[in-house]
Amino acid sequence: MTYEGPKALLTAWVSLVSNLLLTLIKIIFGLIFHSTALVADGVHNGGDVIASIATIGSMKLSNHPADREHPYGHGKAEDISTAFISIVLIVAALFLTYEAVKALFGPISSVSIWAFAAALFSALAKWLLYIYTKKGADRYHSKSLYATAADHLADIYASIAAALGLGIGWIGTIFHLPYTHYGDPVAGIVVSILILRIAIVMIIKAINVLMESSVDESVQEKYRQVFLSFPEVKVIDILRAREHGNVVLIDAQIRIPASYTIQEGDDLTEAIRSKMIHTYPNVDEVLIHINPWYKDQVLVEPDSVPHLEKK
């Protein structure tokens, strides 16, 4: 139900070391060959290094067991990390936009094939990192790794744009084509918008979890069906589900026949809890309160209980 800490952390460390190496390569090549796009992309990667450090710290913290001060565990540390990575991406996107606009009105400079090669190498390296990190996030159900994978994806866009712009500029330099030197900054502006969009989506999701918003109603409907798969459950009075880090916590109030003993009610709630967790492994806790139900009692599920057929 929670990710395998050491193995997930290894994935995060690989991202950190790779980001550090790519940052150095881009900035050094960008300065040597006077490539604004490559330097800007290198600074963007520098932000990724900071984000990777935050990811490792949050994963270590979220893997700590619950304690007296944090009885629900430390799972939300990963959502805080996701929000932080989103902010880093937003700042990087704004910085790239600024550099691209400045390059539009700056002096024209020739493009080196080595700067173009460095951008292509960066795009390939980030693509491999994205695949590796995304598989790790899927395997260990880690939100921080999902955020890091999204960051790698944004980097792929940035590196491809830099390579495309540098490639157009390089070809223009060789064949003396007019306006080709604008390829780099224009591509940079487009990619900055794409990065900004990814970051905004990520930070909205993280804030929703931190604000205790409910999981999607279609998912809650699936949880509802698990409860109703037991004929003893006559009515669901309350059903709430929220994300807590990498897991889901469910609170419910159900009505069962008033003739049931305490033991029978306890056995039923244990059976429901066991089926729910077995069916949906990311569900970590199911708190169930039981209320009496009488045959002559007419009750209707309140609107607070997700039910897609009501729509």
Give the global pTM.
0.60
Predicted local distance difference test score (pLDDT) of residue 1: 40
How much is the average pLDDT of 211-223? 83
For the chain, give every residue range classified as CATH 1.20.1510.10: 5-210
Question: What is the enclosing helix (H) or strand (E) of 242?
Answer: strand 235-244
Q: 246: pLDDT confidence band, cut at 50, 70 and 90?
A: low
Cα(5)–Cα(56) distance, integer angstroms: 10
Whether the pLDDT of residue 81 is over 50: the answer is yes
Look at the block and give the residue holding tokens 């604004």. Answer: 36
Q: For the ranges 70-84, 106-120, 205-219, 237-251, which has the lowest average pLDDT?
A: 70-84
Whether the pLDDT of residue 225 is over 90: the answer is yes
Predicted local distance difference test score (pLDDT) of residue 311: 43
How much is the average pLDDT of 277-290? 91
Predicted local distance difference test score (pLDDT) of residue 239: 92
Cα(259)–Cα(269) distance, integer angstroms: 16
Whether the pLDDT of residue 290 is over 80: the answer is yes
Model pLDDT for residues 103-149, shown as the tens digit of each residue: 778 776 666 788 888 888 888 998 999 999 999 888 877 777 887 88
Q: For the ranges 89-98, 213-222, 296-305, which has the lowest average pLDDT?
A: 296-305
Whether the pLDDT of residue 230 is over 80: the answer is yes
Looking at domain 217-310, what is its CATH homologous superfamily? Cation efflux protein, cytoplasmic domain (3.30.70.1350)
Whether the pLDDT of residue 2 is over 50: the answer is no
For the chain, give every residue range classified as CATH 3.30.70.1350: 217-310
DSSP string covering 103-135:
HHTS------HHHHHHHHHHHHHHHHHHHHHHH
How much is the average pLDDT of 204-217? 77
Q: 3: pLDDT confidence band, cut at 50, 70 and 90?
A: very low
Q: 190: pLDDT confidence band, cut at 50, 70 and 90?
A: confident
CATH of region 5-210? 1.20.1510.10
Whether the pLDDT of residue 303 is over 80: the answer is no
How would you list the strands of the sheet with 247-257, edge to edge? 235-244, 247-257, 283-293
Cα(233)–Cα(166) distance, integer angstroms: 65
